[in-house]
Amino acid sequence: MGCLVMVTILQVCLIISAAAAGPRKMARLVPAMYVFGDSTLDVGNNNYLPGPNVPRANTPLNGVDFPGGARATGRFSNGYHVADFIAIKLGLKESPPAYLSLAPRPSDLLLSALATGVSYASAGAGILDSTNAGNNIPLSKQVRYMESTKAAMEARVGKAAARLLLSRSFFLFSVGSNDISVFAAAPGDVAALYASLISGYSTAITDLYGMGARKFGIVNVGLLGCVPAARALSATGACNDGLNQLSAGFNDKLRSLMAGLAARLPGLDYSLADNYNLSQVTFANPAASGYVNIDSACCGSGRMGADSDCLPNSTTCADHDRFVFWDRGHPSQRAGELSAAAYLDGAAGFTAPISFDQLARKDLAI
């Protein structure tokens, strides 16, 4: 078991106590972070999935600005993404590692789960199992992986210690974009779509709550109609208003869901990050955030850089930090950093009812 022998119930409690003491005594605000969602949070899970149609970011030029040296890490970014910056602000080194990178070594998975957390996020994943089926880890399966991780944690440190750690940890979500995009390609009953998505989201949150999770940081769906891939379909390069309206409608339902769950599940607390509104504010005044381009991909090909993914032979912009989008569908490292700062600080009302920082510091009942 190696250094895993060192992990005891006492150590778990000491980690939690130190985190709760605040930044003056210890920078870490939470004992661990567990991540669920899609490509905006994926740190390489899809690298371990078989099949030619699995979306992966495991080749250059992805990772060209990765801290510590250029390397493609499975992140759809030129470096870090929003999950990394959220983790850093919570006192972790970066986003916790990908579940599938750890799963072949149970002792490493257990150590990560107890010491820093695990990321289950998967590019292309949706709330619905049918979204891009067979080419990702859907949300329901991500939750099942967490359930098996929890069982291993309980076997090692006991149910009480595992539950205590989970109750103090940060559960980060960003999912729904792929479901909406797939639906938009073959429209149907919008009300039925929302009902299915909210039901699946509710099940995931409720199941994790049953495992002991109490702190949920939820990032809503952004302006899907304004990513380069969507803009490039317009002769004028305009946003797809219909796609944005679908996103906004889902976000309204998500807001109601979280308020209802918090009222119904004792001890559950959450912060809902408004990626949609943050994008609107950024696009209205890009210069305020240091951007010179809000509509094209920094790395890609063709019109608006949206004809292909970011590939080794792609063209890149001169200054990666001055583009909102790294590729045709994903934010740049700089955009991820600014988003995380807004969510943690709650600046300009980009989170509700509290900020990610306030959520992390909140002492919730088990």
Q: Which residues are tagged catalytic?
A: 39, 327, 330
Q: Count other Cβ atoms within 10 Å, centred on residue 260.
A: 12
* Packing angle of the helix pair 82-89, 333-345 (nearest 10 deg): 40
Beta bridge partners of 170: 33, 215
Backbone angles phi, psi at 266, to 5 degrees: -55, 130
Instruction: Kindly report the three-state secondary structure assignment for every residue of the chain.
Output: CHHHHHCCHHHHHHHHHHHHCCCCCCCCCCCCEEEEECCCCCCCHHHHCCCCCCCCCCCCCCCCCCCCCCCCCCCCCCCCCHHHHHHHHCCCCCCCCEHHHHCCCHHHHHHHHHHCEEECCCCCCCCCCCCCCCCCCCHHHHHHHHHHHHHHHHHHHCHHHHHHHHHHCEEEEECCHHHHHHHHHCCCCHHHHHHHHHHHHHHHHHHHHHHCCCEEEEECCCCHHHCHHHHCCCCCCCCCHHHHHHHHHHHHHHHHHHHHHHHHCCCCEEEEECHHHHHHHHHHCHHHHCCCEEEEECEECCHHHCCCCCCCCCEECCCHHHEEECCCCCECHHHHHHHHHHHHHCHHHCEECCCHHHHHHCCCCC
